[in-house]
Each structure stands twice: as structure tokens, then as C-alpha cells.
A and B are shown apart, each in its own frame.
Chain A
Amino acid sequence: MKPYNTDSSDIILTCDSVCKSFQNIHALSNVTLTLNRGKIIGLLGANGSGKSTLLKLINGLLVPDKGEIMIGGHTPGVETKKIVSYLPDATYLSSYMTAEQIIDFFADFYSDFDSKKAFEMLKLLNLKPEMKMKSMSKGMKEKLQLLLVMSRNAMLYCLDEPIGGVDPATRDYILSTIITNYSEDATVLISTHLITEIEMILDEAIFLNNGTVMLHESADSIRNDNHMTIDSYFREVFRCIPNY
């Protein structure tokens, strides 16, 4: 597949023939991607298509079996972790810590973390700084984890299923937080299977199926060329694939 973006000065991330397998299951097969700065990109696919695996590889939580990933000119490591802000699909904060302690923790480790912004967002959420993680509902935890990620002035934000498992009001809040809080020259990579909810904020879409990139186009191109929403086109593309 021809790389979608070719302007090298704007490139934040490249994946070159990346493969990853787990116990003979090919989670990713020859994934080649180029992502530019300043875009909101949807990484779309069904459960098990390889979205989380790709995000983990980008964040250095996994090592590719083959191929190479470069972020800002570096392979995943200490240097890329300084510029990549990651929201995993898991509760990753210690249950005994308060919101304030967690914000202080982030401020201590990330030089690009904006504590003032984090506390402002906390106030908007009506979350008290002294509230412990274990006292928070699932929705509150999701919001807190998101605000921590979006309070960093990162070059690449990787959000793994940020709107899965929460109510519609929380989903709207999460999407508006993403749009209003990332810097314009940063890239946001959002993985989700809830395409309808997210497609209106996307600049580009990547379709992933069984670890393979099926498509990487701008959101407008998909809609204009096919005269349908991204969600409808996604269903169309995957309907034609045997055993999908």
C-alpha cells in the first residue's frame, strides 16, 4: 500500500513493515504507515484487529518482531516517551493516590506537563483534588486519566479506546476535551471500534483488519469519494472481506 503522507518535514511517526506475533497469532503483518503532525487520526478496526498492539509498539511496551517504528526521528525509548502521551485501555493509576498526588506525579516526571491546566480540568469535572482513585466511579477514572494525558504538551497523543465503556455524556466530554486541549501541531491517534461517535472529529482514518492496514485516507476523501459516512464505508469494506 502506498504511504498516505509523503511530506517528510511534517512526519511525526513512521512504521516500516512492522510485524508482531503472539504464540503464532499474527497481531500485525507488514504495517507501513506515515503520520503527519497536526492531525487527528482514527485507528479504526474491530476488536482483535491489532489497534492496541500497534499503540503498545509505538509506546515501547512491545518490541516488533520485524520492521521499525520511528517517532520524531527516534525508535521507541526514553526520548520518544518524552514526546508521546499515551492513554491505555486500562486503569493504570494507583488506587490509593489522590487526584492531586497523581497530578504531582505526572508533573514530576514529564517536563511538558501543565499542572495548572490539569487542576483547571479537574475543577471543571467537579473532582476534588483530595479524592482518592478508589473512591471514583469508572467514568471519573476515565476522565481523570484522559485529563492527565491531555495536560501534556506532547507531539503525539495515543488514545486507546478512550470512549469505550462510558456513557454518552462522558463520551461527548472526552471528545470535546481531546479537541480543545491538544496543541495544533500535535498529532492525536485515537483507536476505537465506535466509529460513528468519533468520525466527526477525524482528519484521517486508518482501517485495520487482522493486523493489516486496509486503508489510510483523509476523512473528507472517504466521505466525498464514497458518498457515505466513514462508519458506513468501514462496514462496506469489511463486509466484502471473507470471514470478517
Chain B
Amino acid sequence: MYTKLLKHECKANLRYLIPLYIILFFTTITVIGLSYITFITDKLPFITNLFFFGYILSLILLSAFTIVLVIYRFYKNFMTGEGYLMFTLPASTHALILSKLTTAMLSIIVTFFLVFASIFLVGNTVSRSVHLDIPMQSFSLSNYVDHLGIGNIFYLIILVILAIALQTLFYYLCISIGQMITQNKLIGSLIAYIALSTILQVVALIAIVPIGILVKDPNNILSYIHILLPIMILGSIFITVIFYLGIHYILKKKLNLE
């Protein structure tokens, strides 16, 4: 059932994302084309700058939209009338949550990959045409590998993936808590968001204390990264599991469809 749910959820997400990815493709091509024209002929600088501004805006909007879509799909599919369909399918609550989470993470990762790929492509040409002096090393992956080491790069990738999962499950948990309140479920979700954010910040502050003791030279924090990254990964796994179990419990035992 998990794969079936995943298939349908991906289809539902793609109908929103594919048009936006196509728009991103054309805005990227347009900005690169105009930048070359300006760079070579020194013409159309105003239009190029205007398109560049629009391009940056489109990157921000696409990124934000993907996050909003992830939240919207969970709410619409599980907390509104569609919940009557989803929660009466012969699928376990684990399958329902994991299919949503997997699709959400894939959507976010693909979006951000495309955004960064676009920035990388545009960065090479736009920096010269608008006279921005961006050091080319910032676009070089090998530069990061040399600085941080392949092991730490691997830890960072794991941490990024965990951060996406954690943040997604955080939104899901806020919505799940909010739906338990019969009146004003959205306000309940907002209150849950504020309360959980506050708790997380307190936990983070408490967690920093032993790290502060461990790091003897704060000016050279990169030398501790091989210790810090695994600690952060373990902490993220722990919080992710807590969030997941909370969502599972609420959806299985405390579902409150209108």
C-alpha cells in the first residue's frame, strides 16, 4: 500500500510542481540569454537587470511554494473531507504518513536541487554581465571537499536530509495537534506551531551547553566539525522519531474529521 500511496501522492504534487519547474527552466534560459547579450553587446542592461530581479523572485517563490504545497497536501488530504477517503483505505497509518513524508522530501529535494542548479548555471554568466565579482570557488564542489573532507561532506548531506524530514514532520505534527481542537483547527495548528517552536528552541539552548564545553576554541570551530556533525545527526534523528511517533499516535487514536 505504501508504494500505491506514494505513486498517487507524487502524481498529485507533480501537477503543481511541473508547471513551476517549466517556468524555472524558461526564466533560467532567458536570464542566461539576456546576460550573454548584455555581456557581449553591452545592450539591454535595464531589461537584463529587470529579468534578473524577476528570476531571483521566482527562485524564492518556487522554494516557498514547495514548502507550502507540502503542508497544504497533508492538511487537505488528511484533515478535510478527503480524510474520509484516505483513512478508510486498507492502508496502515505508518504507510499513510511515510508516503506523505517521502513525497514531501522528494519534492523539496528536487526543487532545491533545480534551484541550485539554476543558480549555478546563471552564476557563471550573470556575474560577469552585471559586474558582480563572485569568486568562482564558491561554485566549485571540489573546493568544499578540500576544505571539509569527504567524510564531513557525507555527514552534511545526511544532516540536510534529516533537517528536511524533521522540518516536514514538525509541520505535520502542528497540523495534527491542531485538528484535535474541534473549533478553529487552523488556529490550533498555529498555537501548536508557536508552542513547539518555543520548546525546540529551549531544547536547542540546553543542547548547546555541552557543545560549548566541548569546543575549546570557538574561532576554529571547523576543526570540531567531525565531532559536532555526528552529534547533530543523532539529535536530529531523536527529534524526528519523537515527531513521527507523535503524528502516528494522533492520527491513529485522536483523529477528528469534521
Contact = CB atoms under 8 A, between A and B. Distances in A.
Contacts of B4: 108-109
Contact of A81 (B12, B82, B90, B253): B90
Chain B contact residues, majority secondary structure: loop
Nearest to A90: B81
Interface stretch (A3-11, A35-43, A59-67, A222-230): A59-67
Interface of A: 22-23, 56, 59-63, 78-79, 81-82, 84, 86, 88, 90-94, 96, 105, 108-110
A211 B12 CA distance: 39
Nearest to B11: A101
Given A23-B182, A60-B88, A63-B253, A92 B1 contact: no
B88 A78 contact: no
5 contacts: A86-B88, A90-B84, A90-B258, A93-B85, A109-B89
Interface string B233-258: 00000000000000000001111011
Contact of A61 (B12, B87, B90, B92): B87
Given A88-B84, A108-B4, A94 B91 contact: no
Nearest to A110: B90
Given A109-B89, A110-B90, A61 B8 contact: no
Residue picked from B12, B85, B254, most chain A C-beta under 10 Å: B85
A110 B90 CA distance: 8
Contacts, number: 53
A105 B4 CA distance: 9
B147 interface: no
B91 A109 contact: yes
B131 interface: no
A69 to B, nearest CB: 14
A20 B161 CA distance: 41
The 5 closest A-B pairs by CB, nearest first: A92-B84, A88-B84, A81-B90, A90-B81, A92-B85
B15 interface: yes
Interface residues of B, number: 23
A132 to B, nearest CB: 12
B8 to A, nearest CB: 7
B8 A105 contact: yes
A96 B73 CA distance: 13
Residue picked from B12, B81, B88, B182, most chain A C-beta under 10 Å: B88
Contacts of A108: 4, 8
Given A91-B81, A92-B84, A94-B82, A78 B255 contact: no
Contacts of A96: 15
A90 B80 CA distance: 10
A60 B253 CA distance: 9
Nearest to A158: B88
Contact of B255 (A62, A81, A84, A88): A62
B257 A94 contact: no
Contact of B91 (A63, A78, A90, A93): A78
Given A23-B182, A60-B87, A61-B87, A78 B92 contact: yes
A92 B81 contact: yes
Interface in B12-31: 12, 15
Contacts of A61: 84, 87-88, 255, 257
Contacts of A88: 81, 84
B82 A93 contact: yes
B176 to A, nearest CB: 15
